[in-house]
Amino acid sequence: MDDSRTQDLAPYAALPGRSRGRRYREPESAYRTEYQRDRDRVIHSSAFRRLEYKTQVFVNHEGDMFRTRLTHSIEVAQIGRSIARALRLNEDLAEAVALAHDLGHTPFGHSGQDALNRCMKDYGGFEHNLQSLRVVDELEERYAEFNGLNLTFETREGILKHCSPRDARELGDLGERFLNKRQPGLEAQIANLADEIAYNNHDVDDGLRSGLITVEQLIGIELFREQHEAVSRAYPDIAPRRLQHEVVRRMINRQVTDLIDTSRAAIAAAGVSSIENVRAASDLLIRFSPQMSEANLALKRFLREHLYRHYRVRRMTAKADRIVRALFEAFMADVEVLPMDYQHKVRKAEAVAGQARVVADYIAGMTDRYAIAEYERLFNPSERT
């Protein structure tokens, strides 16, 4: 089925009828395009549901008002669809990539990823981007005829935002663009920057809500200050919480508008007329203006210094490191403390590196609260197993 809406897309948009296909051949759907099927498969996956209880910045149990990987992924998808629509690109593909991009994230956010990467340093390392691909290619077990979700090449390409030459050589056609210095499709490029817009601005919102950063601190950041001053002038009696929401909303709109305008100009200047032209371009065509790139960099620096390095967040980082490292060491030392299905996988694995990868798969799939519960079950003598 090829949606009639694709007739309105730009000639360099990804068309589902021209997809490079799936790893395993399947009959076409009568009512959904290939990229719509990808999106739906992601939404119905176990890994997607678990994102509800995985950290964005704050540990899941610290409060139900903070964002999780699930709410973040939904927000990325909304921003990505808006950008794709404005540029006459494939909204369904941009949405599928956005919803899938964090499926491989560990519990405890980047702290958990860093801890698991240190545990895996002698066994090939761990990187959540590659793990997301591993989830959709191998780890989901929902279909009788194949492992994984059997997504299209274009969705899988969008999930894999970056890759080392060593890893790229092991990924076949999916790794070729990293070795040949080629670009991904425009929908993949959109999902990448929609992710950046979402997490930067929503971390501002969550940081203010938590009290770890203040409006007074953020006034020093141009992107925040401009919108704060505009809202304060227009609504002098607005309540603080509503002012905060309005400022963040306008910050997102400002960045999205800049991205659309700049990208449209870059696409026109490059003279692209096909996806092949996009892939052969010397640089990414979905981009911010130089001024917005600098403003975004200033915001990132602020968040890194004042939010991500705040002592309360650093305490979470230390806790994540202890929990992940202890779990990894316990499972590697005694396979019989793993659940039965993972015991089976470890015993089937070749060499120690293969066994370690199975253990990493198990830990990466945990939610924050499940990882904490596993830690208690293993190391607290009074905890029931």
* Within a domain: 321: no
Determine phi and psi for 209, rounding to 5 degrees. Answer: -60, -35
* Within a domain: 29: no
Local structure of residue 335 (DSSP, 8 states): G
Most confident of 2-6, 59-63, 277-281: 277-281
Q: Stretch 328-339: mean pLDDT, rounded?
A: 96
Structural domains in the chain (count): 1
User: Which range (171-175, 189-193, 263-267, 268-272) has the least confidence?
Assistant: 171-175
The model's confidence at residue 249, banded by pLDDT at 50, 70 and 90, is very high
* Within a domain: 166: yes
pLDDT at site 64: 46
User: By the 8 A CB rule, do 58 and 315 touch?
Assistant: no
Radius of gyration in angstroms for the set of CA atoms belonging to the chain, rounded to a whole number: 22
* Within a domain: 57: yes
Determine phi and psi for 262, rounding to 5 degrees. Answer: -65, -40
Question: Which pTM does this prediction carry?
Answer: 0.93
* Within a domain: 99: yes
**CA separation for the pair 359, 144 (Å, rounded):** 24
**CA separation for the pair 186, 93 (Å, rounded):** 10
pLDDT of residue 63 exceeding 50: no
pLDDT of residue 323 exceeding 80: yes
Q: Return the exposure string of 200-211: e unless at least 16 CB atoms fall within 10 Å of the residue's CB, then b.
A: bbbbbbbbbbbe
* Within a domain: 261: yes
* Within a domain: 115: yes
C-alpha separations of 296 from 59, 98, 116, 146, 301 in Å = 25, 20, 29, 42, 9
Can you state the angle between helices 351-364 and 311-333, rounded to 10 degrees?
140
The model's confidence at residue 255, banded by pLDDT at 50, 70 and 90, is very high
Structure tokens at 329: 């060491």
Q: Which residues contact 155 (CB under 8 A, 6 or more apart)?
A: 35, 38, 93, 96, 97, 100, 136
Determine phi and psi for 55, rounding to 5 degrees. Answer: -65, 140
pLDDT of residue 5 exceeding 70: no
Determine phi and psi for 275, rounding to 5 degrees. Answer: -65, -35
pLDDT of residue 272 exceeding 80: yes
CATH number at 70 reads 1.10.3210.10
Determine what percent of the chain is predicted with pLDDT higher than 70.
95
Q: Can you say how many angstroms the Cα of residue 228 is from the centroid of all Cα atoms in its chain?
A: 28
pLDDT of residue 293 exceeding 90: yes
**CA separation for the pair 330, 375 (Å, rounded):** 10
pLDDT at site 280: 96
- Spatial CA neighbour of 313 closest among 188, 210, 176, 232: 210
**CA separation for the pair 63, 79 (Å, rounded):** 25
Sign (positive/negative) of CA torsion 147, 148, 149, 154? negative
Q: Can you say how many angstroms the Cα of residue 162 is from the centroid of all Cα atoms in its chain?
A: 12
Determine what percent of the chain is predicted with pLDDT higher than 90.
83
124: containing domain: 34-312
* Within a domain: 1: no
pLDDT at site 210: 86
